[in-house]
Structure 1
């Protein structure tokens, strides 16, 4: 009887432990617009890309490309660009902004939109979080990244 109880207990606990210890489960918030200081920011797409800077000294294995749509819903011009965003991997490491000439950045007039792309070097774990920190430093917003697909 003891042996049967032990077997049943093991059969119940092993799947629970395996499910609890399985990798990260990140909420995918890419495609969700969020607002901070009258800027409505929507990271529309996150992909791996083959695009590389031709003047790069060292070869980068992976580059992630994030497509943004930013709308100024306020009454004054606001500047925003790729440097205002940070991307973090599962271990909390900040991915370095990749020096690709197509990185976006501009001043957005009231009621206008800015669409553009930002590029980041991936040297370790997969990206799992995108963060925008307002230049005045008092507010930030985050998006979870569940999966990054490869696209040419």
Structure 2
């Protein structure tokens, strides 16, 4: 009789534990990933200038060696849909921070620059030294005096 009671008690505990473990997960959701997806979607918008498609492929933030500034790496995909070669480089881009400070590419970094043959694509990286704490900026394609394309970017967290 005692063994029967222990078996029933043990089975009850096992059933209760199983039901708790198989219950519904927490249904609350974190809103942050949706914001990041929206920001990434906004960044990845393709801009076309003279049959050249330009798209930000990736943004990456690291700290500079001296720790005084942050380095933003902007990876671009550029496709030449024209019939002639097209020359482009990191120096054709600049960043404007929310505080209206213009930041040019770091001339000492290994920024992209090449001539893209007709129908070909170039993927390259440009590097910008940003003031610490910069959260938003506008990436501007300006090969000459006038801006020809702009992207609103949210600066990612440091890696």
TM surpasses 0.5:
yes
CA shift in 2, pair 1:95/1:124, >3 Å: farther
Of 123, 127, 139, the match for 1:115: 123
Please tell me the root mean square deviation across aligned C-alpha atoms, in Å: 2.2
The runs of 5 or more residues in structure 1 that have no matched partner are 1-26, 53-57
**Equivalent residue of 2:154, what SS?**
coil
The residue aligned with 1:20 is: none
TM-score (normalizing by structure 1): 0.69
* Structure 1 residue 147, shift from structure 2 partner: 3.4
CA contact (8 A) 1:46 1:67 kept: yes
* Structure 1 residue 46, shift from structure 2 partner: 1.5
**Equivalent residue of 2:43, what SS?**
coil
Higher-helix-fraction structure: 2
The residue aligned with 2:85 is: 77
Q: Which has the larger radius of gyration?
A: 2
* Structure 1 residue 98, shift from structure 2 partner: 1.2
The 5-angstrom pairing of residues 49-60 of structure 1 reads 49-50=62-63, 60=68
TM-score (normalizing by structure 2): 0.66
**Equivalent residue of 2:91, what SS?**
helix
1:32 aligns with 2:45: yes
The runs of 5 or more residues in structure 2 that have no matched partner are 1-37
Residues 61-70 or 42-51, more deviating? 42-51
* Structure 1 residue 31, shift from structure 2 partner: 1.3
**Matched residues, number:** 119
**Equivalent residue of 1:83, what SS?**
helix
Per-residue CA distance 1:101-131 (angstroms, 9 max, x = gap): 4210000010001011000011255141111
Greater RCO, CA 8 A, separation 6+ = 1
Whole-Å Cα distance in 1 between the matches of residues 132 and 61 of structure 2?
14
